[in-house]
């Protein structure tokens, strides 16, 4: 049973057409390549999902039902930097009464953006989400993530 339509979230007129996203630390992933490899391995065993204790209250905005937009994404944090995203396909039930966040295992590289580590997931408004890297670009083309983190710590970006 899908939980994507459960709950009392309402569409807000000023957010029509704007998806909501989540951020999450890629715990244990030492690099973007390592994360991509882990997701590929999990996809070989079936659908890829993460579990969480509670269904996000704004889940309808994430899957695009409330906003009328396409669905949101899960933005991955590696070494205090948002580096990539996985489109969120929906929410469902998991073992032990937990909630599954179903994601597309293919990573979409994004511009590096400093982001503090946190436990669990956090909301990310579309206006605050980093842009996807264009075709033919590789992570770090715009600016190395380590440099972004240092400049951010100094309050320069």
Please state whether beta strands 73-78 and 108-114 pair in parallel, antiparallel, or not at all (unpaired).
Answer: unpaired
Tokens linked to 149 = 């983190």
- Residues 62-121 have pLDDT tens digits of 987 654 556 899 999 999 999 999 999 999 999 999 999 999 999 999 988 889 889 999
Q: How far apart are CA 137 and CA 89, in angstroms?
A: 25
pTM, rounded to two decimals: 0.75
Query: Where does 9-112 have alpha helices with state H?
Result: 32-44, 59-63
């Amino acid at each position: 049973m899908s939980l994507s339509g459960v709950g009392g979230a309402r569409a807000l007129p000023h957010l029509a057409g704007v998806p909501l996203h989540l951020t999450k630390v890629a715990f244990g992933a030492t690099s973007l390549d390592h994360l991509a490899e882990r997701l590929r391995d999990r996809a070989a065993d079936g659908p890829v999902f993460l579990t969480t204790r509670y269904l996000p209250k704004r889940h309808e905005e994430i899957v695009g039902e409330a906003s009328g937009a396409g669905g949101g994404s899960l933005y991955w944090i590696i070494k205090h930097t948002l580096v990539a995203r996985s489109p969120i396909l929906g929410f469902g039930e998991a073992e032990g009464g937990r909630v599954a966040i179903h994601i597309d295992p293919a990573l979409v590289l994004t511009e590096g953006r400093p982001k503090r580590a946190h436990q669990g997931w956090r909301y990310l408004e579309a206006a605050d989400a980093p842009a996807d890297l264009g075709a033919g670009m590789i992570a770090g083309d715009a600016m190395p993530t380590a440099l972004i983190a240092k400049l951010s710590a100094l309050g320069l970006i």
